[in-house]
Amino acid sequence: MRALVFTGPGKAEVQEVPEPVAAAGQVVVEVERAGVCGTDVELFSGEMSYLHSGRSSYPLRPGHEWSGVVTALGAGVDESWRGRRVTGDTMIACGRCRRCLGGRHHVCAEMRELGIADGLPGALAEKLAFPAAYLHALPDTVDATAGALVEPGGNAERSVTAAALAAGERLLVLGTGTIGLLSAMIARSRGIETHLLGHHLGFARELGFTGVWSRDSLPDLAWDAVIDATNGPEMPGLAVRLVEPGRRVVCIGLSGTPSTIDTRDVVLKDVTAVGILGASGGLGAVVRAYAQGLVDPRPLVAAVAGLDDVAGVLAGHRPAGAGDGPKILVDPRR
């Protein structure tokens, strides 16, 4: 089968690789859609920290945002999975340790990350072997495109939940990329007054948001929570300065250099700062939100590319005819 392989920094090629076989407890999925995200860009460029710590190495097969149909079952897998459209958790853990048993498998010391860390080939391929215990079934109302946006949606869902806001309260989301926009869409679906600060303001307005601001135009309002979904090292500090005393700042974005927060601001304002790693705890909730029509992530997709186009996308080239949305999806069968 065909699969995208990173062979070194800045080097990506589509290779013929052996088709996966479902081992015990696994399924084989025919991938319908896979997303390209910032983590993939960092793995491609060589900037990803895992490449320097030894957690990841080349050659590497990327892809952790995906949807597809189960075509084969390994020993011990329930027959009901066959033929179902699914997506899955990126974080694959041991299932035995104190963290896993306490509901924190996404921070398991033995946790492996699909398409990111060594040992689990990713979904930018025609087929994928995947552990059945980490599958999430997609209802018929969630198509392949929305299914591939469940993983980023899970990150956004966890971020909005961590902000701990009630309907009618005011949220400021820093960043108008995929995670920032999905966070805003999920918050809006909960009756939260949602504002965005970022650069791609016109597209955010097309999504129906009226509280869309640049740094220069941001109004002096009481922000009951702030979500930082940017990669700017100065933005977490800005979030702490902007948020109302006694409320929450949620950090989902990561910068390439260390961010700085003045802990005097945190202490003297009695601010709670929450970090979000991964989508695991939000996947089920976001599948339900998509299925019920509370959130429709599909307008975020600018284009659907083929595997041969991915290297160019990772290098910053948008496919011909791409729309204004921040997300590029891939149909590996093309």
Shared domain check, 214 and 184:
yes
Report d(CA 226, CA 251) in Å as an integer. 9
Q: Count other Cβ atoms within 10 Å, centred on residue 134.
A: 20
Q: What is the pLDDT of residue 118?
A: 83
User: Which value, in Å, is the radius of gyration of the alpha carbons in the chain?
Assistant: 20
- Do 172 and 262 lie in one domain? The reply is yes
Q: Assess whether 267 and 185 both reside in one domain.
A: yes
Read off the tokens for 164: 């701990």
Helices first, then strands: H and E counts in the chain: 11, 17
Is there a single domain that holds both residue 161 and residue 137? no
Rounded to whole angstroms, the Cα distance separating 291 from 59 reads: 37
Helix (H) or strand (E) holding 44: helix 38-45
172 and 262 in one domain? yes
Separation between Cα atoms, residue 192 and residue 84, nearest integer Å? 34
Cα gap 191→207, rounded to integer Å:
16
Task: Please give the chain's pLDDT, 334 residues, in tens.
Answer: 999 999 999 999 999 999 999 999 999 999 999 999 999 999 999 999 899 899 999 999 999 999 999 999 999 999 999 999 999 999 999 999 999 999 999 999 999 999 999 889 999 999 999 999 999 999 999 999 999 999 999 999 999 999 999 999 999 999 999 999 999 999 999 999 999 999 889 999 999 999 999 999 999 999 999 999 999 999 999 999 999 999 999 999 988 889 989 999 999 999 999 999 999 999 999 999 999 999 999 999 999 999 999 999 999 999 999 999 999 999 999 8
- 149 close to 182: Cβ distance less than 8 angstroms: yes
Of 8, 53, 1, 4, nearest to 305 (Cα)? 4
Q: Which residues pair with 275 in a beta bridge?
A: 251
Structure confidence at residue 293 (pLDDT): 97
Is 76 in the same domain as 133?
A: yes
Measure the CA–CA gap between 87 and 66, rounded to whole angstroms: 6
Q: Is residue 249 part of a domain?
A: yes
Are the beta carbons of 292 and 302 closer than 8 angstroms? no
Q: Which residue has the tokens 């949620």?
A: 250
For 279-294, the DSSP string reads SGGGHHHHHHHHHTTS
Tell me how many domains the chain contains: 2
List Cβ neighbours of 92 (8 Å cut-off, separation of 6 or more). 111, 112, 113, 114, 120, 131, 134
For residue 39, the domain's CATH number is: 3.90.180.10
Where do the H-state alpha helices sit in 108-234?
A: 144-147, 150-163, 178-189, 201-206
* Domain span including residue 228: 155-275
* CA dist., res. 21 & res. 43, Å (int): 26
Contacting residues for 161 by C-beta, under 8 A, at least 6 apart: 282, 285
Tell me the whole-structure pTM to 2 decimals: 0.96
The answer on 260 and 215 residing in a single domain is yes
Q: What are residue 12's DSSP bridge partners?
A: 6
Q: Which helix (H) or strand (E) holds 223?
A: strand 223-228
DSSP 54-123: TSS-SSB----SEEEEEEEE-TT--GGGTT-EEEE-SEE--SSSHHHHTT-GGG-TT-EETTTSTTS--S
On the question of a cis peptide bond just before residue 219, with omega within 30 degrees of 0, the verdict is no
- pLDDT score of 119: 80
Q: Is residue 291 part of a domain?
A: no
Structural domain contains residue 190:
yes
Q: Are residues 77 and 16 in the same domain?
A: yes
Q: Is residue 285 part of a domain?
A: no
User: The tokens of 214 are what?
Assistant: 């640049």
- Residue 178 and residue 1: Cα distance in Å, rounded? 30
Give the pLDDT confidence score for residue 185 in this predicted structure.
98
- DSSP conformational letter for 309: G
CATH of the domain at 214: 3.40.50.720
Residues 31 and 143 in one domain: yes
Rounded Cα distance, 43 and 310, in Å = 13
Q: Which two tokens stand for residue 234?
A: 């100065």
